[in-house]
């Protein structure tokens, strides 16, 4: 039997009018864009995504007032390549950063970012928090060189592990935080970045559109939060029985992790409130997502709060728990409320989408496809034939089929899953479907070999 491998089964082009309401008013001017990027937030870490131990009311409100994507994927299973994909519109078979390490995006005209494109289109641009154009480097000049008029944050991703960083950079200059000592201090990183984001929004007006990349460093690695968020998490979790929690230390780690997500939710609420205060609310696209799945680090285990439920695995894995992430978009002037989208999309789709929203052309040769038709409920939504990832292994998704190759040293070590029947990837059905494995593995190997010619693979 021959299988035809198409995305979303047999649909290559989906008429959106049949799937989504189109009664939201259309904007007359370019929308502002705010991209809130969490660090290691799991698919199940939001109450609108099924989290039952604590609440995220502000993010939940975003979902009820906009659209929640159920099948959105990060750029990679770890931060640096995922963020490179977000910035450049390329998947990890074609991007210049494919793993964590001492990397910067390449100088223009290579690695043109969405920030550069929007700035050239008249947008004010800012990145606040953990850099999305650097890896483990202390090159403070790169954010401004890659399209951001304004930057405050850390460029070395190891500095972003510290909830109380001893310094940050602001537009190339070092800003000491002398009372901060990594794990202790008086300036919590997310609070600092939230204040800076609010200050940036205070300087904006309807006369000029803006793009703000709010790169939040939680709930990554160092599992700790300010006392008020910890107390709220403690009260909300209460005496609930948490899966896999066996010791008081386990429970405290779960509470601290929940408090970090609660702090993220509060920061999101502050941004939404500021937009309303500035009368910028209606024509601002606000997106919230995560750079990869949740982690088991800093004393936390992703099973404690079912952070990636119902998905298998987490950060660093090419199973769904490592790469399928929450994705919520709110835009009162452009999106009808209470939307739930099954459209399959990925980080490399953001660049062409933002270009569409801004009314400009995206560069050619990208893997990304604009999901603007999903947002507006108008037009015809193109779909991907496949999605590809590589990080210490390779994976290819041609919905509902997904091939994963974890052992690169063993030639025929392909796993196959049907995500419609087995979202949790518990049943490897490669032996039962050799035709599908043969077709998908050939494509996966082709992308892999082509990518290796263009750029060395980094797997640190």
In a domain, 137, yes or no: yes
**8 within some domain:** no
327 vs 98, more confident: 327
DSSP secondary structure code for residue 282 in this structure: T
Q: Residue 388's beta-bridge partner residues?
A: 396
Smallest Cα–Cα separation from 215: which of 130, 89, 307, 341?
130
Alpha helices in 278-394 (DSSP H): 320-323, 350-358, 372-376
The larger pLDDT score, comparing residue 105 to residue 23, is at 105
H helices within 93-226, ranges in order? 114-120, 142-145, 189-202
Predicted pLDDT of residue 169: 98
Asked, for residue 10, whether it belongs to a domain, the answer is no
**pLDDT one-digit tens code per residue, 97-151:** 988 888 899 999 999 999 999 999 999 999 999 999 999 999 999 999 999 999 9
Task: Report residue 450's pLDDT band, with 50, 70 and 90 as the boundaries.
Answer: confident
| Mean predicted confidence (pLDDT) in 266-278 | 98
Q: CA–CA distance from 361 to each of 32, 128, 445 (Å)?
A: 17, 26, 31
pLDDT in tens, 379-390: 999 999 999 999
| For range 376-380, the mean pLDDT | 91
Question: What is the model's pLDDT at position 408?
Answer: 84
Question: Which candidate, 141, 139, 187, places its Cα nearest to that of 162?
Answer: 187
CATH number, position 143: 3.40.720.10
Express each pLDDT in 57-96 by its tens digit.
999 999 999 999 999 999 999 999 999 999 999 999 999 9
- Higher pLDDT: 24 or 253? It is 253
Closest CA to 45 of 371, 314, 234: 314
Q: State the pLDDT confidence band at 452, using cuts at 50, 70 and 90.
A: low
The answer to the question of residue 193 being in a domain is yes
* 3-state SS, residue 437: helix
pLDDT the model gives residue 28:
57
Cα-based distances in Å from 120 to 30, 116, 234, 355, 448:
13, 6, 47, 11, 33
Q: What is the average pLDDT across 209-223?
A: 97
pTM, two decimals, is 0.93
Predicted local distance difference test score (pLDDT) of residue 340: 97
Domain presence at residue 310? yes
- How would you list the strands of the sheet with 415-418, edge to edge? 387-390, 394-398, 401-405, 415-418
In whole angstroms, what is the distance from residue 403 CA to residue 388 CA? 10
pLDDT for the residue numbered 295 = 98
CA dist list (Å): 232 to 61, 218, 259 = 19, 17, 7
Q: Where are the alpha helices (DSSP H) in 278-415?
A: 320-323, 350-358, 372-376
In a domain, 369, yes or no: yes
Residue in this structure with the two tokens 């259309």, named with its chain if needed: 26
| pLDDT value at residue 454 | 58
- Average pLDDT for the chain: 92
Q: Residue 137 has which token pair?
A: 């480097």
- Decide if pLDDT at 50 tops 50: yes
Is residue 223 within 8 Å of residue 233, measured between CB atoms? no
Domain that holds residue 370: 21-385
Mean pLDDT of 414-439: 98
- Model pLDDT, residue 341: 97
pLDDT value at 25 more than 70: no
Distance CA(373)–CA(375), nearest Å, equals 5
- The rounded distance, in Å, linking the Cα atoms of 347 and 352 is 10
Q: How confident is the model at residue 455 (pLDDT cuts 50, 70, 90)?
A: low
Q: Is residue 187 part of a domain?
A: yes
Q: Mean per-residue pLDDT for 335-354?
A: 97
Model confidence at 286: pLDDT above 80: yes
Lowest model confidence (mean pLDDT) among 226-230, 338-342, 452-456:
452-456
Is residue 92 a part of any domain in this protein?
A: yes
Indicate the number of domains in the chain: 1
């Amino acid at each position: 039997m021959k299988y035809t491998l198409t995305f979303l089964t047999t649909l290559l082009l989906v008429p959106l009018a049949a799937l989504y309401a189109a009664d939201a008013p259309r904007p007359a001017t370019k929308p502002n864009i705010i991209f809130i990027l969490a660090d290691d937030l799991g698919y199940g870490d939001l109450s609108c995504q099924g989290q039952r131990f604590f609440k995220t009311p502000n993010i939940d409100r975003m979902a009820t007032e906009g659209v929640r994507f159920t099948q959105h994927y990060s750029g990679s299973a770890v931060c640096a390549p995922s963020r490179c994909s977000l910035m450049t519109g390329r998947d990890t078979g074609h991007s210049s950063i494919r793993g964590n390490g001492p990397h910067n995006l390449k100088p223009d005209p290579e690695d043109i970012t969405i920030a550069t494109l929007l700035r050239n289109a008249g947008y004010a641009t800012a990145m606040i928090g953990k850099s999305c154009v650097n890896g483990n480097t202390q090159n403070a000049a790169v954010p401004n060189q890659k399209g951001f008029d304004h930057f405050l944050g850390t460029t070395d991703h190891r500095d972003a592990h510290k909830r109380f960083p001893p310094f940050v950079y602001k537009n190339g200059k070092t800003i000491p935080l002398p009372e901060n000592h990594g794990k202790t201090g008086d300036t919590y990183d997310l609070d600092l970045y939230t204040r800076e984001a609010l200050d940036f929004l205070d300087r904006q007006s309807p006369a000029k559109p803006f793009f703000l990349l709010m790169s939040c460093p939680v709930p990554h690695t160092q599992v700790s939060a300010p006392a008020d968020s910890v107390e709220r998490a403690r009260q909300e979790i209460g005496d609930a029985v948490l899966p896999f929690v066996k010791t008081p230390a386990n429970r405290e780690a779960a509470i601290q992790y929940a408090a970090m997500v609660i702090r993220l939710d509060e920061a999101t609420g502050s941004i939404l409130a500021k937009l309303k205060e500035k009368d910028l609310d209606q024509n601002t696209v606000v997106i919230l997502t995560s750079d990869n799945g949740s982690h088991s680090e800093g004393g936390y285990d992703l099973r404690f709060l079912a952070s990636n439920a119902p998905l298998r695995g987490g950060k660093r894995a090419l199973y769904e728990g490592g790469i399928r992430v929450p994705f919520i978009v709110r835009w009162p002037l452009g999106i009808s409320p209470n939307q739930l989208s099954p459209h399959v999309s990925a980080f490399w789709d953001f660049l062409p989408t933002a270009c569409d929203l801004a009314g400009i052309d995206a560069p050619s040769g990208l893997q990304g496809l604009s999901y603007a038709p999903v947002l507006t409920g108008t037009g015809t939504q193109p779909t991907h034939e496949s999605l590809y990832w590589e990080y210490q292994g390779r994976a290819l998704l041609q919905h509902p089929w997904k091939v994963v190759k974890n052992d690169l040293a063993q030639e025929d070590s392909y796993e196959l899953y049907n995500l419609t029947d087995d979202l949790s990837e518990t049943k490897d059905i490669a032996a039962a479907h050799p035709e599908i494995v043969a077709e998908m593995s050939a494509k996966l190997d082709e992308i892999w070999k082509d990518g290796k010619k263009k750029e060395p693979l980094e797997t640190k």
